A = this chain, B = another copy of it.
Amino acid sequence: MQRILSTQLPAHVGQPVRIAGWVHRRRLLKSVAFLIVRDAGGFTQVVVTAPEARALVEKLTEETAIEVTGEVVANSAAPAGVEVVEPRVRALGPPAEALPFDLFRPDLAATLPTQLDHAPLSLRHRSRATALRVAAAATAGFRSTLDASGFVEVHTPKIVASSTESGANVFALDYFGRPAYLAQSPQFYKQLMVGVFERVYEVGPVFRAEPHDTGRHLAQYTSLDVELGFIDDHRDVMAVVRSVLAGMASAGSHLAPIEVPASIPSVHFTEALVIAGAPADEPDLAPAHERAVGEWARREHGSDFVFVTGYPMAKRPFYTHPDPARPGYSNGFDLLFRGVELITGGQRLHQYDDYVAALAARGEPIEPYASYLDAFRYGMPPHGGFAIGLERWVSRLLGVANVREVTAFPRDRHRLTP
């Protein structure tokens, strides 16, 4: 008999079935025992009356993997309107050992460190599993939006000869006896691939040796990277951000609904300072300023999202393209989501001489970037892009304070297992 999922039971009323899953919970009453079986689809209530089956169920502790054959009957009092009766229960292994925390309660009672120490177990809890499903749906929406717009998926090196962003916070590696580093972003690689496909994206791990213990930073996270060529300026990139966010929101809407407006409001950095009541010579937005701009967007435009454009060049990476009309300001933008920075992007430099000048202006040598910059000698169009931190998106969408709660196996300064 083919195994079916709990969600398929209503179509099998009156029939024998085989289900399988985990012992989610047992309710051992005097004359009857209820066995709640959890599978990939949901839950099945199994009604146990026969003494032999009862004796077995009493031994099968929570989280034991089991298989149940029985008959499906309608019962409007059962969780999904159906239950399985006259079961034959078979353990697929020995009974699970005593759990460090209960999984059947609505909330995980264990502390976050305990949850993370036992990640294979805590991830089975609905709250944790749902966050990972939201991440999977968001990633699928990201890709399907871009696939439909002529973007090509690429895979780029995670081991590099020199740091791609500024030199700090980089993991060093022994690469066949010589030094190498873990890539902090696919920044230059995705730019180079614009020369090949015009429009590219990558979903992959990036690595930051973050020395800080915060709820926002991880040593490894999943970066959703996009880059496109033949743009007029950063506004073409922002249009892609909007459609990608809509695709991500749409794909996960059954799990975590969010509305992405047809047009995301946008303010220039100088206006953002005014909205936030900050001095006009502030070089960047502080968290309080971002919150103020987020509240403004909510109040004036009914939007959870707002672009801030034209950040001062001094605060953006050297590959950022300046605003031709206001050279101290950039064609770089941030997208704030509910008052916190979610996405950074912008137009990049695309001419070799401009890179040489930008590095010289910052007193940085060309040599570490030489193998990337070479490509800009051979015809690169105006281009730009952006990156979304997947775990950060999910945590903010679900209103979770610590990004570790939405990461399967987080890595930080103190955590390297499991």
Contact = CB atoms under 8 A, between A and B. Distances in A.
A147 interface: yes
A64 B379 contact: yes
Contact of A220 (B150, B154, B157, B379): B157
Contacts of A136: 152-154
Nearest to A230: B20
A52 interface: no
Given A65-B381, A132-B154, A161-B416, A374 B118 contact: yes
Contact of A147 (B140, B229, B350): B140
A351 B93 contact: yes
A379 B96 contact: yes
Contacts of A219: 159, 175-176
Interface stretch (A42-50, A74-82, A193-201, A335-343): A193-201
A214 to B, nearest CB: 15
Interface stretch (A121-129, A257-265, A291-299, A305-313): A121-129
Given A65-B381, A204-B204, A408 B156 contact: yes
A94 interface: yes
Contact of A159 (B119, B124, B129, B411): B411
Contact of A418 (B64, B353, B372): B372
Contacts of A123: 193, 195-196
Interface of A, secondary structure class, is mixed
A319 interface: no
A198 B382 CA distance: 45
Nearest to A229: B65
A377 interface: yes
Contact of A121 (B3, B197, B204, B375): B375
Residue picked from A22, A153, A199, A382, most chain B C-beta under 10 Å: A153
Interface in A176-215: 176, 178, 180, 182, 189, 192-193, 195-199, 203-205, 207, 209, 211
Interface string A134-154: 011001100100010010111
A378 B120 contact: yes
Given A99-B378, A121-B375, A172-B173, A207 B159 contact: yes
A211 B129 CA distance: 39
Nearest to A41: B150
Interface of A: 3, 20-23, 39-40, 63-65, 67, 92-94, 96-97, 99, 118-121, 123-124, 129, 132-133, 135-136, 139-140, 143, 147, 150, 152-161, 171-176, 178, 180, 182, 189, 192-193, 195-199, 203-205, 207, 209, 211, 219-220, 222, 229-230, 350-351, 353, 371-372, 374-375, 377-382, 390, 408-409, 411, 413-414, 416-418
Given A132-B197, A155-B222, A159-B171, 14 more contacts: A40-B150, A65-B379, A93-B351, A96-B378, A123-B195, A129-B196, A136-B152, A136-B153, A154-B408, A157-B220, A157-B409, A158-B158, A159-B416, A180-B416
